A = this chain, B = another copy of it.
Amino acid sequence: MKTLKIGILGLGTVGGGTYTILTKNKEIIEKRTGCDVQVARILDRFQKPDVPEYLYTEDPDDVLTSKDIDLVIETLGGIEPACSFMVQAMKHGKHVVTANKAAVAANYELLTKTAKENNVKFLYEASVGGGIPVLTAMQNALQGNNFLEVMGIVNGTTNYILTKMTEDGADYGEVLKDAQAKGFAEADPTADVEGIDVANKLSILIALAFDQYIPPTEIPTTGISAITKADIDAAAAEGCKLKLIAHATLNPDGTVKASVAPEKIANTHPLAGVSNEFNAVYITGDMVDEVMFYGKGAGALPTGSAIVGDIISVAKSL
C-alpha cells in the first residue's frame, strides 16, 4: 500500500480537528484512497492528551524540509510565518493543504505560483466556508461554466449576530456580548464584525471564479458594527433580511465588481434562510444557472473535514 506522510503545523482547533478525523476515520480513508495516511510530525509547543508525544517538534524544519514528510497541513493561522512556511514546504517538494484564509488571500499569487513551479498540490478548501465543499466544486464539477456572480454568507459570527438581532429584536451591542459569552465571537471581534475575514474569503472566491486576483485590502468593505434595530426593521418591512454578503459580479468588460457589505436579501432568496452560525455560497454560472452550497463555516471537525477532503484528493492522485 502507498503511504502519505503528513506534517501538521499547529495543533490548535482546526489542526486538532484534522488530527481527530485522520485518526478516527483512518480505516475508511484507507479504503477510499488505497493509501495509508499517517500523521508523522506535529509542530506545536503545547501538547495535547491522546496525541503521542514523539510526534511533536518545535523545529519547523522537521516538517518543512524533512524527507519523511509528503504533505504539510498549515493550521497556524495569521499571515506570517504561515505563508513563508508554506512556500518553504512546497520548495521542498511537499504538497500543502491549508485552512488559512488570511495567508491565502494575502499571498494568493505567490502561493499558487510556487505550487506550480514545484509541481506540488496547493489546496485550501477549508479556507472558505469551513466544511462546505464549494471551492472544490468551482475548480472541478462546475468548470464547464463561465461564472457570472458569487454571493456568500461566509462568516458565522456576523451571521449569528444578525440572526439574533432579527429574531429577538435585540441591539447589536447586547447580541455581541451574548455571542462572546457563548464563544461564537472572539474577545476582539474586529476581524469578524468589520468584514475583514469576509474580504479575505471573497478575494479567494474571486480568484477561483474569475481567474483574477483582487487583494482583500482593495475590496470595499463594510462590516455590521453600525447596523441598528431600525435597519433590520426597515429591511423586514421590505420583505428582506439583512445579511453580510461577500459579493462579486463579472462586469460586461471582464472586470469584477466586488464588495463586502450588509445587503437586503429578499426572504424568498435561498440565502435568506441561512441562519445563525451557518454559511452558504450562492453562485451563478452561465450554464448551471444558480447553485448554492450550505453548511457549517467553522468548527474543528467541519473545517477538518475540508482539510481531510484535500488530503484525500492528494492521496488519490498518487
Given contacts A270-B273, A273-B273, A285-B305, contact A291 B143 (CB under 8 A): no
Contact yes or no, A293 B296, CB < 8 A = no
- Report chain B residues within 8 Å CB of A133: 137, 140-142, 291
| A237 interfacial by beta-carbon distance below 8 Å | no
A29 interfacial by beta-carbon distance below 8 Å? yes
Chain B residues with CB under 8 Å of A220's CB are none
Cross-chain contact of A32 among B131, B143, B301 (Cβ < 8 A): B143
Flag if B273 contacts A309 (CB, 8 Å).
Answer: no
Query: Which residues from 229 to 265 on chain A have a C-beta closer than 8 Å to any C-beta of chain B?
Result: none
Find chain B residues with CB under 8 A from A125 CB. 141
A77 at the interface (CB under 8 A from B): no
State whether the Cβ of A292 lies closer than 8 Å to any Cβ in chain B.
yes
Q: What's the nearest-Cβ distance from chain B to residue A308, in Å?
A: 3
- As a 0/1 sequence over residues 257 to 295 of chain A, the CB contacts with chain B under 8 angstroms (1 = contact) are 000000000001010111100000000011111111111
Closest B residue to A29 by beta carbon equals B144
CB of A145 within 8 A of CB of B25, answer yes
CA distance A306 to B287 in the complex (A): 9
Residues on B with C-beta less than 8 A from A274 are 270
Q: How many copies does the complex hold?
A: 2
Question: How many chain-A residues does the 8 Å CB contact rule pick out?
Answer: 50
User: Nearest B residue to A131 by beta-carbon distance?
Assistant: B288
How far, in angstroms, from A294 to B293 measured CA to CA in the complex?
6
Contacts of A26-50 to chain B: CB distance below 8 A: 28-29, 32-33
Q: Smallest distance from the beta carbon of A280 to chain B beta carbons, Å?
A: 8
From B136, B144, B293, B299, contact of A312 by CB (8 A):
B144
Q: With the chains together, A312 CA to B143 CA distance in Å? A: 7
A313 at the interface (CB under 8 A from B): yes
What residues on B are CB-neighbors of A289 within 8 Å?
A: 131, 295-296, 299, 301-302
- How far, in Å, is A297 (CB) from chain B's closest CB? 11
Partner of A287, one of B273, B275, B301, B311: B301
A64 to chain B, nearest CB (A): 24
Contact call B288/A143, Cβ cutoff below 8 A: no
- The distance in angstroms between the C-alpha atoms of A46 and B177, with both chains bound, is 67
Chain B residues near A312: list those with CB within 8 A.
140, 143-144
- In the complex, whether A146 has a CB less than 8 A from a CB of chain B is yes
Picked from B288, B304, B305, the residue with its CB within 8 Å of the CB of A142 is B305
Structural contact, A136 and B141, CB atoms closer than 8 A = yes
Given the known inter-chain contacts A137-B136, A287-B301, please indicate yes or no for A144 contacting B295, CB distance below 8 A. no
CB distance from A123 to the nearest CB of B (A): 10
29 CB contacts below 8 A, A to B, read A25-B145, A25-B146, A29-B143, A29-B144, A32-B143, A131-B287, A131-B288, A133-B141, A137-B137, A137-B141, A141-B306, A141-B310, A142-B309, A144-B304, A144-B308, A144-B309, A144-B311, A145-B305, A270-B274, A270-B294, A272-B273, A273-B273, A288-B306, A289-B295, A289-B302, A291-B295, A292-B293, A292-B295, A293-B294
